Amino acid sequence: MLCLGIETSCDETAVALVRDGRLVGQKLATQIDVHAVFGGVVPEIASREHLRVLPTLFRELMEESGHAPEDIDAVAVARGPGLLGALLIGVSFAKALSLSCNARLVGVNHLWAHLLAPGLERSLPFPALGLLVSGGHTHTYRIDSPVEFELLGKTLDDAAGEAFDKVAKTLNFPYPGGKHVDELAQETEPDRKLFPRAFIDNPSLDFSFSGLKTAVAVHVQKHPEVVLPRMDDVDGASALGALLPDAREHVARICASFNWSVADTLRIKVERALKKTGHMKGLVVAGGVAANTMIRETMADLAQRYGLDLVLPGPALCTDNASMIAYSGWLMAELGLQHDLNLEAVPRGRVVPMDWHTRKAG
């Protein structure tokens, strides 16, 4: 079965083709540069960019993979969560294509797709504990199969990725700053007393990162010398490179200490979730923040201690892409699941419903 995946939930426009669980080809256009001047994603601009580039990306993918639209058996699309206007571009495109090519339509939960993505690289163990750490979400799930996700814990305020990006902004790093915090954090040892690990002295599986972000901001206010000059260019590598050794050491210490607080909070909550679920076979860590070096090491250590099969996607599969949508859609289509043209986009803050159109496909 040939499944096309479409991703337009935020600031990446992407298409990919998966045949029988294997990636055939993919195209991705990021809007990072377009939004960088605003320091964050502007929803209206994101929608317009998706509309502008999606048809071209699709045409290029078909040409380069040597396929005609009629070859497509299923069209999978990220239906949410995400920005409503951005999602609607992908969902409308998917509906029109599925109708004109007589292909099945499959609406995919973008968050589940992040966690299923590593199935493109290796087989997934079930049941698994899933940790999704991305720009908009911090979720733990019990995952029993590709369509059975039980939400165990979630963030009460900022997502882990948001905390990374806001700390980076406080330090005047280029946008989006998560990966720069990661890089500098590797240059020194964390001071484990410097920043709090919030919301851990309770039995809850939920997370809170906004206090940690504020603690970093307060620390930086007291040490204004660590803030980089404001940068107009999005690259910014030169400004980071120009830091004098003393200042660099200080900035690196902030990054390492903040990163450790996030990593250790995630460890505590995942361990707590594991105690609640009982025996799991695997630990799946996904989403953009799963690219973080210290978090990968922390989770590797945890998986080893609990005898869990650790599943970590490669860095390109961590952040938004359409391969994960095509792969998830293919899994669901293989199970006979599909949607009809009433499929709705589901924005942030709403739970993505399991409203399959029940007629078995095929």
**Residues lying near ligand ATP in the complex (CB under 6 A):** 9-10, 82, 110, 114, 134-137, 161, 164-165, 176, 178-179, 182, 287-289, 291-292, 319-320
- Where do we find the tokens 């069209």? 75
SS (H, E, C) 52-71: HHHHHHHHHHHHHHCCCHHH
Cβ-based nearer residue to ligand ATP, 134 or 208: 134
Is 165 near Fe ion (CB under 5 A)?
A: no
Say whether 40 counts as a known binding-site residue. Answer: no
Is 320 near Mg ion (CB under 5 A)?
A: yes
Residue whose C-beta lies closest to ligand ATP: 288
- 20: three-class secondary structure by DSSP: coil
The strands making up 282-286's β-sheet, listed across from edge to edge, are 148-154, 138-145, 128-133, 282-286, 309-311
Interacting residue with Fe ion among 8, 98, 134, 261 (CB under 5 A)? 134
Burial tier of 354 (Cβ tally within 10 Å: 0-12, 13-18, 19+)? exposed
- Where do we find the tokens 């939920």? 206
Question: Using CB under 5 A as the criterion, what x/- string covers residues 299-338 for binding Fe ion?
Answer: ---------------------x------------------
Cβ-based nearer residue to Mg ion, 12 or 182: 12
DSSP bridge pairs for 106: 76
Cβ 84 to Fe ion shortest distance, Å: 15
Cβ 209 to ligand ATP shortest distance, Å: 11
Say whether 130 counts as a known binding-site residue. Answer: no
Q: Which one, of 78, 101, 103, 70, lies nearest residue 14 by Cα?
A: 78
Q: What's phi and psi for 338, nearest 5 deg?
A: -160, 165
Q: Which one, of 100, 9, 82, 105, lies nearest residue 341 by Cα?
A: 105
Cβ-based nearer residue to Mg ion, 11 or 158: 11
Cβ-based nearer residue to Mg ion, 11 or 182: 11
- Where do we find the tokens 């990054």? 255
Residues annotated within the binding site for Fe cation are 110, 114, 320
Residues annotated within the binding site are 110, 114, 132-136, 165, 178, 182, 292, 320
Residues annotated within the binding site for substrate are 132-136, 165, 178, 182, 292
